[in-house]
Amino acid sequence: MNKSIDYLIQPGGKLTGRVRVPGDKSISHRSVMLGSLAEGETRVTGLLEGEDVLSTLGAFRAMGVRVAGPDQGNLVIHGAGLHGLKSPKNALDMGNSGTAMRLMAGVLAGQVFDTELIGDASLSQRPMQRVVDPLGRMGAKIQTDEGGRPPLRIKGGQKLRGISYQMPVASAQVKSSLLLAGLYAAGETTVTEPAPTRDHTERLLRGFGYDVQTQGARISLRGGGALKGRRIDVPADISSAAFLLVGASIAPGSDLMLEQVGINPTRTGVLNILKLMGANIELLNAREVGGEPVADIRVRAAGLRGIRIPEDQVPLAVDEFPAIFIAAAVASGETVLSGAQELRVKESDRIAVMARGLKQLGIDARETPDGIIVRGGRLQAGTVDSHGDHRIAMSFAIAGFVTSGPVTVRDCKNVDTSFPGFVNLAAKVGLSIRVI
| Cα 364 from chain centroid (whole Å) | 28
Closer residue to ligand S3P (CB): 250 or 314: 314
Q: How far apart are CA 330 and CA 334, in angstroms?
A: 10
Closer residue to ligand S3P (CB): 188 or 342: 342
Binding ligand S3P (rule: CB under 6 A), the pick from 172, 221, 270, 277 is: 172
Closer residue to ligand S3P (CB): 179 or 402: 179
Closer residue to ligand S3P (CB): 111 or 240: 240
Contact present, 24 and 234 (Cβ < 8 Å): yes
Helices (H) and strands (E) in the chain, counts: 12, 23
Phi, psi of 396, rounded to the nearest 5 degrees: -70, -25
329-368 residues in contact with ligand S3P (CB under 6 A) are: 342
| Cα 21 from chain centroid (whole Å) | 14
If one asks whether residue 26 binds ligand S3P (CB under 6 A), the answer comes out as yes
Closer residue to ligand S3P (CB): 14 or 130: 130
Closer residue to ligand S3P (CB): 103 or 250: 103
Question: Taking contact as CB under 6 A, which single stretch among the options 34-42, 169-177, 327-335, 405-413 is the one that binds ligand S3P?
Answer: 169-177
Binding ligand S3P (rule: CB under 6 A), the pick from 56, 158, 176, 190 is: 176
Q: Where in the sequence numbering do the catalytic residues fall?
A: 319
Q: How far apart are CA 270 and CA 316, in angstroms?
A: 7
If one asks whether residue 414 binds ligand S3P (CB under 6 A), the answer comes out as no
201-240 residues in contact with ligand S3P (CB under 6 A) are: none
Query: In the bound complex, what is the minimum distance in angstroms from residue 171's beta carbon to ligand S3P?
Result: 3
If one asks whether residue 31 binds ligand S3P (CB under 6 A), the answer comes out as no
Query: In the bound complex, what is the minimum distance in angstroms from residue 15's beta carbon to ligand S3P?
Result: 24
Query: In the bound complex, what is the minimum distance in angstroms from residue 396's beta carbon to ligand S3P?
Result: 19
Binding ligand S3P (rule: CB under 6 A), the pick from 15, 63, 154, 198 is: 198
CA dihedral sign of residues 29, 34, 37, 42: negative
If one asks whether residue 126 binds ligand S3P (CB under 6 A), the answer comes out as no
Q: How far apart are CA 227 and CA 267, in angstroms?
A: 25
Q: How far apart are CA 93 and CA 375, in angstroms?
A: 41
Please report, as a single letter, which amino acid is at residue 175.
Answer: K
Binding ligand S3P (rule: CB under 6 A), the pick from 107, 318, 379, 426 is: 318
Strands of 364-368's sheet in order across = 334-337, 371-375, 364-368
Helix axes 238-250, 390-399, angle to 10 degrees: 20
| Cα 182 from chain centroid (whole Å) | 23
Question: Residue 151: is the preceding peptide bond cis (ω within 30°)?
Answer: yes
Question: Residue 70: is the preceding peptide bond cis (ω within 30°)?
Answer: yes
Contact present, 60 and 76 (Cβ < 8 Å): no
287-316 residues in contact with ligand S3P (CB under 6 A) are: none
240-259 residues in contact with ligand S3P (CB under 6 A) are: none
* Whole-number Cα distances in Å, 377 to 326, 358, 393: 11, 10, 20
Query: In the bound complex, what is the minimum distance in angstroms from residue 302's beta carbon to ligand S3P?
Result: 27
If one asks whether residue 173 binds ligand S3P (CB under 6 A), the answer comes out as yes
87-106 residues in contact with ligand S3P (CB under 6 A) are: 99
List residues binding ligand S3P (CB under 6 A): 26, 99, 171-173, 176, 198, 318-319, 342
